[in-house]
């Protein structure tokens, strides 16, 4: 287990991956970090590397103005890091974020491949643990649109009502989520048994499917839906999309159905996990007096006080449950019992109501009967 006192140097600390790594290292107690950015001077760089006990080399160039910047920002800077460590006689473990593009014969790919070769030589010559990660498309919070990934661009543009361009919706993207990348990087602090390493959780989705999902996230505020959270890729894409919401649009209004009794407001609807609504009852008001064949519910009074009553059709026995926001307790509403809920207090009573299926006006499965 790596010591929390470990002195960690991080290049590219202000970048997408760097910000996520530095934050999570801090969360886990690794506070002895030195950050190397574009503003770091040569003397500062040497001073940091002299004291470092582990180096994460995340800095690189992928969208330069001049093609020559690929070699300078990827190959040459990696070589400079390595040469400085050797000169200082401080050959410490090194983890490098490379790219799947390193296998391609283009300026960016060649510069990444050359950086990998420099790391491999450093590891072999100095008998030191190193890790090279050829990352595919990385997505997640704090990524930059029109720079880090297509996912960032799509999330930003759709969240901000800007157009997007999809040349071929059938193109399959290979994706890794930033949290999975960071967790894998941090494991390297405890040692590395191989040079070329992979993030174990990889997602593959067609571009068109990704775009449709992101548009569905935007529409979810209107239709009150939530994504399929048992689909790990969809869950991570939704979290990423939310991180791109305009800062003045974090909230959204719900339609409140208001009458003299109080109000009823639908909150969340799902096809497979039911519907959540918020019911507000005025003092002295009774709601319900109906039963269901198959539809079932859960009531949770979170403010105020009242009573929930049950009776089987054809029987006289009435079952009563007193409920209060002072003692949170869920009351199941079994099928085959007519039921109602009455506000016994002097203030509004607020009840969170879950039902196992969204309301279907063609088959409401709701039958009026006084308790």
96 and 28 share one domain = yes
% of the chain at pLDDT higher than 90: 87
Q: What are the pLDDT digits (tens) for 239-267?
A: 999 999 999 999 999 999 999 999 999 99
| Whether residues 148 and 176 fall in one domain | yes
Considering its fold, how many domains does the chain have in total? 2
Q: Can you give the residue range of the structural domain that contains 334?
A: 256-368
Q: What is the mean pLDDT of the chain?
A: 94
CA distance 319 to 124: 77
- Domain shared by 292 and 236, yes or no: no
Distance (Å, rounded) from C-alpha 370 to C-alpha 368? 7
Q: Which of 220, 243, 266 is the last residue of a domain?
A: 243
127 and 237, same domain (yes or no): yes
Instruction: Specify whether 69 is located in the same domain as 183.
Output: yes
Same structural domain, 204 and 230: yes
Q: H/E element holding 344? A: none
299 located within any domain: yes
State whether the Cα torsion 166-172-174-176 is positive or negative: positive
In a domain, 174, yes or no: yes
For this structure, is 241 an active site residue? Answer: no
Please state the rounded mean pLDDT for residues 12-32.
96
Residues 36, 185 within the same domain: yes
Examine the domain organization and report whether 31 and 149 are in the same domain: yes
- Domain boundary residue among 194, 219, 243? 243
Q: Is 127 left (phi over 0), alpha (psi -120 to 50) or beta?
A: left
| Alpha-carbon distances of 38 from 107, 143, 218, rounded to whole Å | 22, 18, 36
Same domain as 292, residue 237: no
Which run of H or E residues covers position 137? strand 137-139
- Summarised one tens digit per residue, pLDDT across range 264-292 is 999 999 988 999 999 999 999 999 999 99
Please tell me the predicted confidence (pLDDT) of residue 111. 84
User: What residues have CB less than 8 Å from 227, skipping those under 6 apart?
Assistant: 213, 216, 217, 220, 234, 235, 237, 238
Let me know whether 13 and 136 are in one domain. yes
Let me know how long the chain is: 371
The first and second tokens of residue 358, run together, are: 């969204």
3-state secondary structure of 252: coil
**CATH number of the domain that 300 lies in?**
2.60.120.10
Give helix 16-27 / helix 178-187 axis angle, nearest 10°.
60
| Among 108, 122, 177, 238, the one annotated catalytic | 108
pLDDT score for 42 = 93
Answer yes or no: do 33 and 151 share one domain. yes
Q: With bands split at pLDDT 50, 70 and 90, how would you rate the model's confidence at 102?
A: confident
């Amino acid at each position: 287990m790596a010591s929390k006192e470990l002195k960690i140097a991080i290049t590219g600390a202000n970048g997408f991956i760097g910000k996520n790594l530095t934050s999570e290292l801090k969360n886990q107690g690794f506070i002895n970090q030195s950050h190397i950015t574009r503003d770091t001077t040569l003397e500062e760089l040497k001073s940091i590397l002299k004291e470092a006990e582990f180096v994460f080399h995340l800095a690189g160039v992928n969208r330069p103005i001049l093609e020559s910047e690929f070699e300078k920002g990827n190959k040459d800077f990696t070589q400079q890091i390595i040469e400085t460590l050797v000169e200082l006689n401080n050959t410490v473990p090194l983890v490098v974020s490379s790219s799947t593009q390193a296998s391609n014969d283009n300026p960016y790919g060649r510069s990444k491949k050359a950086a990998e070769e420099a790391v491999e030589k450093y590891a072999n010559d100095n008998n030191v643990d190193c890790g090279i990660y050829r990352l595919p498309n990385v997505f997640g919070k704090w990524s930059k649109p029109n720079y880090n990934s297509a996912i960032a661009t799509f999330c930003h543009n759709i969240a901000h009502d800007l157009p997007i361009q999809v040349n071929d919706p059938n193109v399959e993207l290979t994706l890794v989520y930033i949290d999975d990348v960071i967790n894998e990087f941090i494991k390297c602090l405890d040692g590395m048994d191989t040079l070329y390493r992979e993030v174990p959780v990889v997602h593959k989705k067609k571009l068109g499917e990704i775009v449709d999902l992101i548009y569905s996230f935007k529409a979810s505020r209107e239709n009150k839906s939530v994504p399929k959270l048992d689909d790990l890729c969809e869950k991570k894409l939704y979290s990423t999309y939310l991180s791109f919401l305009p800062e003045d649009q974090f909230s959204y209004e719900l339609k409140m159905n208001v009458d003299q009794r109080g109000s009823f407001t639908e909150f969340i609807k799902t096809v497979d996990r039911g519907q959540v609504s918020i019911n507000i009852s005025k003092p002295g008001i009774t709601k319900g007096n109906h039963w269901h064949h198959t539809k079932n519910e859960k009531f949770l009074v979170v403010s105020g006080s009242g009573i929930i009553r049950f009776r089987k059709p054809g029987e006289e026995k009435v079952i009563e449950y007193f409920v209060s926001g002072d003692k949170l307790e869920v009351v199941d509403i079994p099928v085959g019992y007519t039921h109602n809920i009455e506000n016994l207090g002097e203030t509004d009573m607020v009840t969170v109501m879950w039902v196992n299926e969204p309301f279907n006006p063609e088959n409401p499965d709701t039958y009026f009967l006084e308790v």
